[in-house]
Structure 1
Amino acid sequence: MNITDPITIALTKGRILKETLPLLAKVGIEPSEDLDASRKLIVPTTITNVHLVILRGSDVPTYVKHGAADIGIAGKDMLLEFGGEGIYEPLDLGIARCRLMTAGPRVSQTAQAPRRRIRVATKFLNIARAHYAGKGIHADLIKLYGSMELAPLMG
């Protein structure tokens, strides 16, 4: 890479983007147009050879891993779920904190004890698989894309 080569920064849409822009502004990198008014996915910045690419969080690690972006800012959940292997994670920016939770119907401890298999609906298959395997629990994982809170109610 040459010093005059363009630098592409992949950013995650939504809340992470809103919390990332002030951090970039502190180092002089600002979009040269209003992101709320623009529908562009590749946005020039106030620095000539630096541009931003606005992506889904799950795509940021892939763009960086395959060289389509030089650096990226994504949630830790996205790195763990969608291929953080081979990606250097220099620091936690302390933004857009989230928690992954497990929910299910209330069952008495005695009724639950003999049960060795559970069903888990999740959009984070890899994270859930690692979590339950680490606890010695065999989980049948069901991939969902939304309405996670409805899954335990529906069985």
Structure 2
Amino acid sequence: MITVALPAGRMLIEAARAMGLAGYDCPYDSASRKLIFTGDGMKYLIARPSDVPVYVARGAADVGIVGKDGLSESGEEVYELMDLGFGRCRFVLAAPKDDIPGLKSALDAGGMLARLRIATKFPSITREYAAGKVIRPEIIVLKGAVELAPAIGLADAIVDIVESGKTLAENGLGIVEQISESSARLIANRSSYGIKAKPIADLMARMGRSGTVGGGQR
């Protein structure tokens, strides 16, 4: 038996569906509050998306499904096995629409943005982005809706994930530039990948045959 960590929230239904399409019994019941259930030789855990890499890295789960955004932000050491293709979204730098032209020009100038204030729920990804741009912004870490920060003068810009961009537009924000793309990934515990090589390889093969997009990197 292998233990699979599934992400609670917006990707849970798609993750359970992916397991079903691969031929596994994944009896997830949206009406239930159970966080642990079994089916077809699998044990499933439902965890907060940001906790999935932690569960997998620490051996509480052998494999997990998590967005690339959550995986990158976690910094946990796991094997990234497959891009599953669903849950697609983008990481963007966004700002009030009137400020976008000036911000784009300043970004091209690099060091001129030393005093830029960026609000985000993803400090690690934001720091990596800033380092690549050779800028040193003040990073303000928030837990809730970061779109509010520019409107109340807390920040000049935000780094966040978007799907359609509708929420940004409704809050007077626009995209300055795209940082990266994110989608659901199949990840594995490093020890489990060796000890339970056969069932994990079978899981990958069945997911590949079911139409999920492979692209493993260990």
Shift of 1:104: 2.1
Q: What is the TM-score with the length of structure 1 in the denominator?
A: 0.85
| Matching residue's letter, 1:8 | T
> Quick one: distance in 2 between partners of 1:115 and 1:144?
21
Higher relative contact order (CA 8 A, sep 6+): 2
Q: Is 1:83 aligned to residue 75 of structure 2?
A: yes
Shift of 1:15: 2.2
Q: Deviations over 1:61-113 (max 9, x none)?
A: 000000000000000001100124x2110110001011122222333639956
**Which residue does 2:138 correspond to in 1?**
140
Q: What is the TM-score with the length of structure 2 in the denominator?
A: 0.62
Q: Deviations over 1:13-51 (max 9, x none)?
A: 12211112222112322233x521211100111x1x311
> Quick one: distance in 2 between partners of 1:109 and 1:16?
36
**Which residue does 1:130 correspond to in 2?**
128
Q: Is 1:109 aligned to residue 102 of structure 2?
A: yes
| Matching residue's letter, 1:82 | S
Q: Secondary structure at the match of 2:5?
A: strand
Q: CA RMSD in A?
A: 1.9
Unaligned runs of 5+ in 1: 1-5
Percent of residue pairs bearing the same amino acid type = 45
Q: Is 1:58 aligned to residue 56 of structure 2?
A: no
Aligned length: 146
| Matching residue's letter, 2:10 | R
Unaligned runs of 5+ in 2: 154-218
| Distance change (3 Å), C-alpha of 1:58 and 1:115 | closer
**Which residue does 1:28 correspond to in 2?**
23
1:154 to 129, 141, 152: 152
> Quick one: distance in 2 between partners of 1:9 and 1:129?
30
> Quick one: distance in 1 between partners of 2:113 and 2:120?
20
| Distance change (3 Å), C-alpha of 1:26 and 1:104 | closer
Q: Secondary structure at the match of 2:83?
A: coil
| Matching residue's letter, 1:141 | I
Shift of 1:57: 0.5
Alignment check: 8 A CA contact 2:113 2:135 kept: no
**Which residue does 2:116 correspond to in 1?**
118
> Quick one: distance in 2 between partners of 1:132 and 1:115?
10
Alignment check: 8 A CA contact 2:113 2:137 kept: no
> Quick one: distance in 1 between partners of 2:61 and 2:114?
44
**Which residue does 1:96 correspond to in 2?**
87
> Quick one: distance in 2 between partners of 1:70 and 1:137?
38
Q: Secondary structure at the match of 2:91?
A: coil
